[in-house]
Amino acid sequence: MKKFLWVFLLAAGFVFSGCATTDDLKRTRHDVDQKITAAKEETARLQKELDGSREVEKSLRKNQADTGADLTELREQVKKLQGTAEELRRDLDNLRAERREKDAKLKDIGLRIGFIENFIGVGKKSEPGENAVRKEDKKGNSNRAARNGNNGKSNGYSLAYKDFKNAKYEDARRGFQKYLEQNPNKDLSDNAQFWIGETYYLENNYEKAILEYEKVIKNFPDGDRVPHALLKQGLSFLKLGDEDSGKLLLQQVVKDYPATNQAKIAKAKLKELKE
């Protein structure tokens, strides 16, 4: 009996012990399942964040690549602009050098004109032509005195021009010079001065012609004979063999008076000199 009781108590102990272990296992399993679920959710969340980070990284790399390409293109454009700016600076320096050279040549022309004046001894108050007129008047040449005297100022110009057309260049000079003495600033004064230069040009006295044309330019700068005088100065220098001075004056006619017949003649002459 005692033996049976002991077995019964032992069996009951095992039963109760087994029930406690099953509950614990269930609770443990439940806890483990929750932790596994939480771990899976956390893993999924981390994976999602990782995927998002990868997308962001990919986008950043793409932007970086695009930015690098843009920077490369900008660098190329900057290089091109620097090259263009350098080319423009060179062109500007060349233009300035050409301008200085032309200015120097024009100054040289002025010096040559001054040299011719000093060499020939003209440009003084009393010129040879004026002295000749006075001598002729003293000799009593009544016809010439009447022409250049009181028979009308415009008539004196007309008669001098008639002498010019008839190739009486010395008489024409005297007439025009007399007209200028009496009419230094009239409408026909620049014409008279120009025709004086023409008489010397037609006599092949190009040095003196240059000086008389210069008086047209200096004394009547607003007159319509200035482009004529510049053109004939240029042609006179060419006749004297001074091609550089002649070209510069012809170029000045083309530049300053482009719409005139003198500019057309100057262009044609410059083209002829190039050939």
The CATH code of the domain that includes 221 is 1.25.40.10
Is there a contact between 116 and 108 (Cβ–Cβ < 8 Å)? no
What pLDDT does residue 215 have?
A: 97
What pLDDT does residue 253 have?
A: 97
Which amino acid is present at 34? Answer: Q
Lowest mean pLDDT among 19-28, 133-142, 245-254: 133-142
Residue carrying the six token digits 């300053």: 256
> How far apart, in Å, are the Cα atoms of 40 and each of 25, 36, 43?
22, 6, 5
What pLDDT does residue 121 have?
A: 40
| Local confidence band at 144 (pLDDT 50, 70, 90 cut-offs) | very low
> Cα(226)–Cα(233) distance, rounded to whole angstroms?
10
95 in the same domain as 213: no
Q: Which two three-digit tokens encode residue 84?
A: 């263009």
Asked which of 68, 102, 121 is the last residue of a domain, the reply is 121
The boundaries of the domain holding residue 212 are 126-274
Is there a contact between 116 and 205 (Cβ–Cβ < 8 Å)? no
What pLDDT does residue 116 have?
A: 52
| Local confidence band at 32 (pLDDT 50, 70, 90 cut-offs) | confident
Q: Which two three-digit tokens encode residue 180?
A: 């200028």
Helices (H) and strands (E) in the chain, counts: 10, 0
Whether the predicted pLDDT of 132 surpasses 80: no
In this structure, how many other beta carbons lie within 10 angstroms of the beta carbon of residue 251?
Answer: 15
Asked which of 89, 121, 153 is the last residue of a domain, the reply is 121
What pLDDT does residue 189 have?
A: 96
Mean pLDDT value across residues 114-141: 39
Q: Establish if 10 belongs to a structural domain.
A: no
> Cα(213)–Cα(197) distance, rounded to whole angstroms?
5
**How much is the pTM?**
0.52
Nearest 5°: CA angle at 258, between 257 and 263? 80
